[in-house]
A = this chain, B = another copy of it.
Amino acid sequence: MSKGRVTVIDIAHAAGVSKSTVSLVLQGSPLVNEATRAKVNAVIRELGYVYNRGAANLRQAKSKIVGIVVNDLTNSFLAELAVGVDMVVQSAGYVQFLSNTGESIDRQREVVASMREHGISGLIVSPARGTDAADFKPLTNAGIPVMIVVRNIPGAKVSSLVSDNFAGASAAVEHLAGLGHRRIAFMGGFANTAVFAERLGGYRDALAKAGIAFDDELVVATAPSRAGGVEAVGRAMLLAHKPTAALCFNDAVAFGVCDGLRARRLEPGVDFAVVGFDDVIEAESAVPALTTISVDPQGMGRRAAQLLLKQINSGKVEAEAIVSAVRLVVRQSSGTALDATARRAVS
């Protein structure tokens, strides 16, 4: 009774049954008689019993816990993704460890190890920059499914879910070219990342398809942040032959670009077309509303979680790499078609 925790034995005692029976009730087994089930449940409520999942996990090796580690939770794209994961994880009766690595490989290794000791039965990770393909080997060897999201790690033999960066960038450029732009910049992002390379690839491909020559002056790499956007537009405007439009590495950069344009008395969507990437929530309500590539991070999170849970339940560890479709959302920041004079002045 007052000797600490209320246990299944206390319940059994108070209800006049055995601990085994109580256990059966707890797991909703159909074997147990309705009357005793009711009795047991009543006692459970009365004594304020709380189930000890730790003890249960010790016996049966299926833990109802997943881990999720992200490289930067303050990035609203990733926060959104985490929320998506949370939704399905929660409704499946699971609970999640969540940790932030802040791009630190060491922290990442630590938290993954710690989560493993705590018995996670699956892991979703948006890896820190520089994560090695072999880093998740121990997990998968132990039969714990791992799902890499957002950033791909070439050579890693785990499942992955990334957005279609190539197609997205390509669609954006096609849109801008269709409006009459010829000098289209690519702004923001660190050049040595896989995501950057994919988006740049789409940009170049669409440029070629539109018959526009690639000019590497027009790709200006900066930090993938709002401040980076401001910097990028500053650098681009120093060029002799200035751009009239920009595809930005992500929405944060795009907002920074808008800020920078305004600081130069140029109105985004009127004097200069800007397109973002990600479609974060603020993109819609910003002024001007941001034309961007919708990636639906929350949806990605949900999908990743569903896939992970599927793998956990089926006990299969075979990796599948899936790319999530994206779509262009045209809003105001890309403006309307350039008129004849503007087009002539530009080209």
Contacts and interface: CB of A to CB of B under 8 A. Distances in A.
Interface of A: 48, 50-55, 57-58, 63, 65, 73-74, 76, 79-80, 82-83, 86-87, 90, 93, 95-100, 102, 107, 110-111, 113-119, 138, 142, 225-227, 230, 255-256, 259-260, 262-263, 281-282, 285-287
A156 to B, nearest CB: 19
A74 B65 contact: no
Given A53-B118, A226-B286, 16 more contacts: A48-B138, A50-B142, A54-B118, A74-B79, A76-B79, A79-B79, A82-B98, A86-B100, A90-B111, A95-B99, A95-B115, A96-B97, A96-B98, A227-B285, A230-B285, A260-B287
- Copies of this chain, how many? 2
Contacts of A281: 74
A112 to B, nearest CB: 11
Contacts of A286: 226, 259
A50 B96 contact: no
A82 to B, nearest CB: 6
B99 A86 contact: yes
14 contacts: A48-B138, A50-B117, A50-B142, A51-B117, A52-B117, A52-B119, A54-B54, A54-B58, A54-B118, A54-B119, A58-B58, A76-B76, A79-B79, A255-B282
A76 B90 CA distance: 21
Contacts of A50: 113, 116-117, 142
B118 A95 contact: yes
B100 A114 contact: no
Given A96-B97, A226-B286, A287-B263, A90 B118 contact: no
Nearest to A98: B98
Contacts of A230: 285, 287
A331 to B, nearest CB: 13
A50 B226 CA distance: 42
B74 A83 contact: yes
B285 A225 contact: yes
Contacts of A227: 285
